[in-house]
Structure 1
Amino acid sequence: MKRTSKIIALFTLTMVFVLEGFAQTATSVQPSRYGDRSFKMDTVFSIKPMREDDKMFTIDVWRRIDLREKYNIPLYGTGDAKNDGIVSNIYKAIVEENAFEVYADEAFTRPMSISEFQSEFWLNALGDSIFVKQLYYLDFKEDFIIDKHHSQAKFDIKYFELVMPSLTNANAGQKSIGFIKFKDFYNHFKDHPDAKWFNFQNTSKNLTYDQVFDVRLFRSVVRKYTNQGDELLIDLVDPNNPNAELQAFLDALEFEYKLLEYENGLWEW
């Protein structure tokens, strides 16, 4: 009887170790916990990296936030100077706090010095000084992703591009001031409650920038998406069209609706 009890106890203990060894942990939490599987993930740009194998569909999308639009005014800032807006706060984070790097190219291969960035930020094509409120464009690139692991559509912002509008740049064309990784921006401003999205109707509900981009409290327009010629939507419009900018805007809306339709119909049977 004692021998039988010892055998049963030994068997039970062995099974416990076996089950623990093969226990399934959510791969989205610990993607390389067991076996020799190693999952590729974007840990450089993405604030919430996911496994590349879980991306059933991905398309790159380039968007523009026009801070002058009514919906985006909470990001633009207060007063005439807009010194407490998102562009000004990004400038302060780079120049005054040295919180993160700014780059001269979207491939992030050439870091800019602070003096170089300041020159690009404050001077237009004629060398004239400009004001923060004249930098009212904030461009960004993101991935639209269908995550098959969670059956969700997700937006994964990669980087911001600080842009000087052509009008501000002495009508010499749009000028890229610099590129910053969204991950750097997000991690910095989630710990800086003084940099705010302003709720002018209820100031107790002002939000930090990380919260704003988590819930996408901004309005943006698609300027480009992945295409064979790597062209902007405006460049894809018939050159003989008398209202090319309007047509590009309508094409951007059509693209948005296609993404929405794709998401809505994805899991229908």
Structure 2
Amino acid sequence: MDTEAQHKERDRSPEPDTSGEEERSRSVRIAALVGGPWRKAGLLALVCLVFLLLLSTYVMQPFLIPSGSMEPTLQVGDRVLVDKLAYRFGDVPQRGDVVVFDGAGSFVREAPAQNPVTRVVHGAAAALGLAAPAGADYVKRVVGVGGDHVVCCDERGRIKVNGRPVDEAYVYPGNPPSQVPFDIVVPAGTLWVMGDHRSRSSDSRDHLGDPGGGMVPVGQVIGRAGWIGWPFSRWTSVKRTGAFDRVPAAGGSHG
């Protein structure tokens, strides 16, 4: 018997195909990776995002300042933390508060139309302070509340509220309190608001001839600007000014 020939015959037999097993092993490793650390990281990121959106919706919302209408108090690009609980438990906006409000129906006739997907994406980005607010959202300072008699201006160019001149140190340097004369009584449940950079602010003065007379319903106020959170170099609280401390209550002197 030719044993050498037999060995050669056995050597020519095909080796087992292991490519399928290697592919399955690779798939198992990928699945383990996706189902392990990556899956946990993705779930954690999703939970954090949902938490931030809920926090922004009901408690505290970052608000990107898109214009210079509130300079020098607020600068373009500032992220202001808006306290949404400020007026939820019986408190109401006060003279001197810096507030964020929805101007639909008062400053604009209706909110700008958007593609539904774009609206959702933009809304989420704005809620996190990553995009400019909706076209109907504004930030201004409360100058008059319901019942107040607000006049521009006295012989020294100052705005008067309920007969008391107001020294507005927060107004942009070089700006007069207003170049637009007005004499209004603020209806109950509404606010008269103005920007600190009076020459660059589109505020209640610009809507005197509109149906609402430039007034913002209190129910449209989103919250009070509480802090500048970004950039860190400008981290500070946005305090209510004391300029209105000596203004008498509405219904007093209207001289």
- TM-score for both structures, normalised by structure 2: 0.25
Higher relative contact order (CA 8 A, sep 6+): 2
Q: Which has the larger radius of gyration?
A: 2
TM-score (norm 1): 0.24
